[in-house]
Structure 1
Amino acid sequence: MKEIIDIVAAYDEAHALGKKTALATVVLVEGSAYRRAGARMLITEDGQLTGAISGGCLEGDALRKARLVILQQQPLLVTYDTTDDDDAKLGVGLGCNGIIHILIEPITSDINNPISLLKNIVSNGQHVVLATVFSIKDRKAAQPGTCLCLTEDKLTISHSEHLPYQVALVSDAERVLEEQRSEIRFYQADTEYTAFVEHIKPVISLVIVGAGNDAIPLTRIAAVLGWNITVIDGRPNYAVKQRFPFAQNIVTAKPAEVLSHIKIGDRTAMVMMTHNYNYEIALLKELLPTSLPYIGILGPKKKLERMLAEVEHAGISISEAQMNNIYGPVGLDLGAEGAEEIALSIMSEIKAVLSARQGYSLKYKPAPIHISNLQYLVK
C-alpha cells in the first residue's frame, strides 16, 4: 500500500508541474522474480521514477519504453524472459528464473484513469479489488489496462464502452473482494484477454498507547512503512505533535475513552507501553470484547500474567481466541536492546502476525519466499 500512496503523491506533484506520466504494473509473473504481480512504478517524461517493478534491473529499460508510451499515448505490454540464458541481450541481469509481464499505461485526462483508481484505494481505507486487463496472445490488440476498482460500497469502471466480458469481470471482482484472494482470469472476446484481479489490503493502523520516549522510534519505523499511526496517552504534556510528528492522530484519553478514538479493523494493531500498570489493566478490560487482531503489551511475562489474573478475578473470562491476540512480552526475539531495537522487534512481530507468518529466518523456509496466493481460473 505504501507504494501506491507514494505513486499517487508523485503523480499529483508531476501533474501540478505539467509533466506527462505513465504507470508500469507487473501484471503476471511466471516462475521467480524479485517483485510479484501488483508491483507498480510511476514514470515521468523527464525520467523520475516512483515505486519499483524489480530490484533495479528492469527500471532503465522500462523507462525507455515508458517514454514511447507517453509519446504515442497507447498502452504497451512488455515481457522479460529471464529463463533464457541469453537474457543479457535485454540489457538486464535479473538473477531470477521467471517470465515477467509488465503493462505500461499512459496517464490520460480520463476521469477514471489508473491513477484515479489508485486514489480510490488510498482514500477508502478498506479492502479493495483492482482489475488490470491485457492481452498476451495479441499484443497489437487494445490493452484495456487498469480498468476496474471495487470497494465495499462502490464500483468504478474506467472505460465508457461496455467490455464484452464486463459482467464476468465484475462478478470475479466481487468474489475476490469476498475471499480476499487475488486471481488471474481469462476471457475470450475478439482475442483472449488476461485479467489480474488484485486484492489490495488496507494500510495497517498502529495504535500506540503511551507517549513516552520509547514510543518515538516506533512511530518513526511505522512512518517509513507507510502505516497509519495513532498515539494515545492520558498525559496531555506528552501526547503532543512536537514529540510525534509522524503520527496522523494524537489523542489524550483515559482508558475508558480510548475505543471512542479509534476504528478497529482486521489490520489494526495496538501496543501498550504506558509504563502505567493501572492504566493498562483498565484498558485491557475494555479491549478484550473487541476483535483487535493484535494487542501487544510491553514488559516482562510476569506483568502480563498478573494482569490476566486480575482480569479473571474481576469476573471477566478470557477465551482462547482472545488470548491468541495478546502478545506479551511484546516483540520478536531479536536480542533487542534499547528503544530503537525494541521498536524494530515490535514492528517485526506486528508485520508477521498480520501477515500470518512465523517470523523465522528465510534461510530455514523450505518453500519459496513468496508463495503465490493467486488463483488461475478460466472463464
Structure 2
Amino acid sequence: MKEITDIIKAYNEAVKAGRQSALATVVSVEGSSYRRPGARMLVTDDGMLTGAISGGCLEGDALRKALLVMQQQKPMLATYDTTDEDDAKLGVQLGCNGIVHILIEPINTADENNPVELLKIVTGKRRSAVIATLFSLQDRKAAQPGTCLLLTEDGVIKSACLQPELKEKLLRDMQAALQENRSAIKEYCSHTILTGFIELISPPVALILFGAGNDALPVMQMAAVLGWQLTVVDGRSNYATQQRFPLAQQVIIAKADTALAHVSFDTKTAVVLMTHNYNYDIALLQQLLPLQLPYTGVLGPRKKLDRMLHELEEKGMEITPQQLQSVYGPMGLDVGAETSEEIALSVLAEIKAVMAGSNGSPLRSKLHTIHSHI
C-alpha cells in the first residue's frame, strides 16, 4: 500500500506542475520475477520514477516505453522474457527466469476514472477493494483496455466504458476475489480473448502501539518505512507527544481503562503492549483478549505474560484457547535482538509474517517457490 500512496502523491505533484504521466503495472508473471502482479511505477514526462516494477533492471526500458505511451496516448503491453540466459539482447540483466508482462497506461487527468483516481478511492478508506485490469496477451499490438473497473468492499463501483456482459462477468469475479481474499487472473471473451488481472488491494497494517518510551521510537520509524498506519497511546503526557512521534497518524494520552475507546480495530490491526507499566499492560490485555485481534504482542519474558494471564483468571476472567492463539509473548521473531532497534525489527517482522499467514522461517528452507501463483 505504501507504493500506491507514494504514486498518488507523485501524481498529484505532477498534475500541479502540469506534467504528463503514465502508470506501469505488472499484470502477469510466468515463472520467477522480482516483483509480482500488482507492482506499480508512475513515470512522469521529465523522467521521474515512483514505485518499482522490478529490482531495477526493467525500469530503464519501461521509462522509454512510458514516454512513448504518453506521446501516443495509447496503453501498451510490454513483455520481458527472462527465461533466456542471454539477457543482453534485452538490454537488461535480469536472471529471474520468468516472463513478466507490464501494462503501461497514459494517465488522462480529465478522466475521473483514470487508474490513479481509482487508486485514490482504494486508499480513502480502511476497506478492501478490487481493481480489474484488462489486456491482450494473445496480441500485444491489439488495443489494451487497461484499468477499467473498481469494486470496493462497501459496494462502490467505478467503471470505464465496458460492454454490459463483460462488466457483469468482471463484477462476479471481483466479488469472488473479495470473498476469497485473493487476487486472480481470468480470461474473458469479448471481440477478442482478453486476460483480466483481478487485483485485491487490502488496507495497510494499522499498528496500535501502547507505550511511548524511547524503545517505541524505532518502532515508529520502521512502521513508517513500511507504510503502516501508526497510533501511539500512553498515559504519560510528557511522553505521548506529536513532537516525539511525528510519523504517527495519532498520538493519544489516555488511562488504561479508557484507552480502547479512543482507537478502532479491524482485521488488519496489530496491537503491541510495551508501556513498561505492568498494571497498565494487564488492564489493556483484559480488554483486548475478547476482541481476538490478528496480533496482540506483549513485550517481556514469557513469565510476565503467564503471570498476567494467571491473575486475570484469578479475577474470574475465562480465557479461551482461541483468544490465546493471537497473543504473542514474548513478541517478535528470534533474530538475536538486543538493542531497541533490533527488537523493533524482530517485532515488526513477526507482525508482517502473521498478517501474511507466513511462519517467518528462512526462505532457503522453503521447498516450493517464494510467492504463491495467482
CA distance in 1, matches of 2:85, 2:303: 58
Pair 1:222 & 2:218 matched: no
Partner of 2:269: 268
Partner of 2:53: 53
Contact 1:138 1:191 in 2 (8 A): no
CA distance in 2, matches of 1:333, 1:184: 37
Q: CA deviation at 1:191?
A: 0.4
CA distance in 2, matches of 1:354, 1:258: 24
CA distance in 1, matches of 2:139, 2:332: 50
The normalised TM-score by structure 2 is 0.97
CA distance in 1, matches of 2:296, 2:156: 34
Partner of 1:69: 69
Contact 2:85 2:95 in 1 (8 A): no
Equivalent residue letter for 1:24 = A
Q: Deviation per CA, 1:343-377: give whole Å up to 9, x if none.
A: 111111111111111112112111111122x1xxx
> Helix, strand or coil for the counterpart of 1:88?
helix
Pair 1:242 & 2:243 matched: yes
Q: Residues 303-322 of structure 1 correspond to what in structure 2 (within 5 A)?
A: 303-322=304-323
> Helix, strand or coil for the counterpart of 2:290?
coil
Q: CA deviation at 1:163?
A: 5.4
Q: CA deviation at 1:256?
A: 2.0
CA distance in 1, matches of 2:142, 2:261: 53
Partner of 1:330: 331
CA distance in 1, matches of 2:253, 2:244: 14
Partner of 1:10: 10
Partner of 2:204: 203
CA distance in 1, matches of 2:27, 2:295: 32
Equivalent residue letter for 2:283 = A
CA distance in 2, matches of 1:263, 1:151: 20
Pair 1:133 & 2:118 matched: no
Q: Residues 101-250 of structure 1 correspond to what in structure 2 (within 5 A)?
A: 101-108=101-108, 109-162=110-163, 164-250=165-251
Q: CA deviation at 1:342?
A: 0.8
> Helix, strand or coil for the counterpart of 1:92?
coil
Pair 1:30 & 2:30 matched: yes
Equivalent residue letter for 1:280 = D
CA distance in 2, matches of 1:320, 1:144: 50
Contact 1:217 1:339 in 2 (8 A): yes
CA distance in 2, matches of 1:202, 1:274: 27
Q: CA deviation at 1:161?
A: 4.7
| Identical-residue share of aligned pairs (%) | 58
Q: CA deviation at 1:291?
A: 2.9
CA distance in 2, matches of 1:262, 1:363: 39
Equivalent residue letter for 2:75 = P
CA distance in 1, matches of 2:311, 2:91: 65
CA distance in 2, matches of 1:227, 1:272: 17
CA distance in 2, matches of 1:338, 1:115: 41
Q: CA deviation at 1:20?
A: 0.3
CA distance in 2, matches of 1:164, 1:137: 21
CA distance in 1, matches of 2:271, 2:224: 15
Equivalent residue letter for 1:367 = H
Partner of 1:368: 369
Contact 1:220 1:246 in 2 (8 A): yes
Contact 1:264 1:291 in 2 (8 A): no
Q: CA deviation at 1:70?
A: 0.2
> Helix, strand or coil for the counterpart of 2:284?
helix
CA distance in 1, matches of 2:127, 2:154: 10
Larger RCO (CA within 8 A; separation ≥ 6): 1
Contact 2:87 2:95 in 1 (8 A): no
CA distance in 1, matches of 2:196, 2:309: 49
Q: Deviation per CA, 1:76-134: give whole Å up to 9, x if none.
A: 00111111233321101111111110000000021110000110111121111111111
Structure 1 segments of 4 or more deviating over 6 A? Answer: none
CA distance in 1, matches of 2:300, 2:85: 54
Partner of 1:341: 342
CA distance in 1, matches of 2:112, 2:62: 25
Contact 1:80 1:100 in 2 (8 A): yes
Contact 1:66 1:104 in 2 (8 A): yes
Q: CA deviation at 1:16?
A: 0.6
Partner of 1:377: none
> Helix, strand or coil for the counterpart of 1:289?
helix
CA distance in 1, matches of 2:131, 2:356: 20
Contact 1:230 1:251 in 2 (8 A): yes
CA distance in 1, matches of 2:125, 2:145: 24
Partner of 2:283: 282
CA RMSD of aligned residues (A): 1.1
Q: Deviation per CA, 1:300-354: give whole Å up to 9, x if none.
A: 1111110000011111111111111111111111111111111111111111111
Partner of 2:254: 253
Equivalent residue letter for 1:357 = S
Partner of 1:43: 43
The unaligned stretches of length 5 or more in structure 2 are none
The unaligned stretches of length 5 or more in structure 1 are 375-379
Which range moved further: 118-127 or 50-59? Answer: 118-127
